[in-house]
Amino acid sequence: QRWTDWNESYFDGALMPPHIGFDVTAARSLGGCAPTTSYGGLIQISINCGLAFGTNADWVNNPKGEGHLHLVEDLLLRFTVRQFVLEVRKETEEGYGGYGPKFAAEANRIGKELQLGAVKARRRGHDDAALICAHWPHCVRSEDFYGADVTPRLLALGRGGSAGGATRRAPGPSAGFLDMMLSYLRAGQAEQLERLLSAHRERLGRAPTERGAVSRKVESGEQDLDGSPLGEVRFDADWLGRNEGLVRKMVGAIVECGTFGEVPFLADALEAAGCREDRILRHLRADVEHTARCWVLRGLMGQGVVGHSAGPGPAADG
């Protein structure tokens, strides 16, 4: 019904009804709008099912509360504007991830009616504080529009990583890092805790001047970052369950929150859980920027054997 209302009021009824589905999406994705459906039809709008039905407790405090409904409706509005650009304007805006100048123009046209601030396709230089249209309209809503019905984590995802729409995330601490601190406290390991905090403080001090992640590709059958052969590495599922599931918690928090600066500390947690695989530990402690495509993170999430040709394309360590 909301889609039908917007089609009439904002697009003069020019849109064809899309296929709207509720699906499992990537960890940091709330949904999307694609030009074709899985069965070959036109326009598919997908919304994360845990968000839509309020079953993801990390995102939703009050399922079907007014703030929850507002956030889901805003997400559908974003994808409806994207549908208009794809279907009527015939623009994919691939260089902008689908949210380029055409999308920004339509979002600002509608936003003016809704009394929302303006957005643009991309920033120009470090001093440009513009809000990015890929996160519209969440990024231009007032702080209290969604209330306490949704969590800060969900609001940050909707707004692109922060209230200001910036996508770069600080290197922590995440829930996994805090779990590691608690495990040291409970064990009375003051020296290890002090070392952990000192290392993290050093990383935080470097963060403002560090460059963004640089993609490094590791081809199947070749070499890891330190020149060692890759081959096949076995990941023991028992590592994830020991020490009250600390490794599992850290991996989940690092991937979910994007706190890849904590990857070296994951090596410490793995060692404490019994990991003696030198290639894994050495890789995690390498002085590089990691991403969600890190072969170790993917191996731990898969809890099995990873040959480095696994997955679509080469594994990447950012």
More confident of the two residues 108 and 228: 108
More confident of the two residues 188 and 77: 77
Tokens of 23: 């699906």
- The least confident of 62-66, 138-142, 211-215, 232-236 is 211-215
Q: Would you list the DSSP string of 56-97?
A: -TTTBSSTT-HHHHHHHHHHHHHHHHHHHHHHTS----GGGT
CA distance to 49, 52, 65, 76, 151, per residue, from 23 (Å): 5, 9, 21, 14, 20
Task: For residue range 9-44, list pLDDT tens digits in order.
Answer: 999 999 999 999 998 887 678 999 999 887 778 899
Kindly give the interhelix angle for 175-186 and 190-206, rounded to the nearest 10 degrees.
Answer: 160
In the DSSP assignment, the letter for residue 215 is: -
Q: 60 pairs with which residues across the strands?
A: 150
The fraction of the chain above a pLDDT of 70, given in percent, is: 77
CA angle in degrees (0–180, nearest 5) for 86-91-95? 115
β-pairing, 315-317 vs 42-48, is unpaired
Supply the mean pLDDT for the chain.
78
Question: Which region holds residue 187: left if phi is over 0, alpha if psi is between -120 and 50, else beta?
Answer: alpha
Residues 264-289, mean pLDDT to the nearest whole number: 86
For residue 163, the model assigns a pLDDT of 33
* CA–CA distance, 51 with 23 (Å, rounded to integer): 10
Task: For residue range 241-252, list pLDDT tens digits in order.
Answer: 888 888 988 888
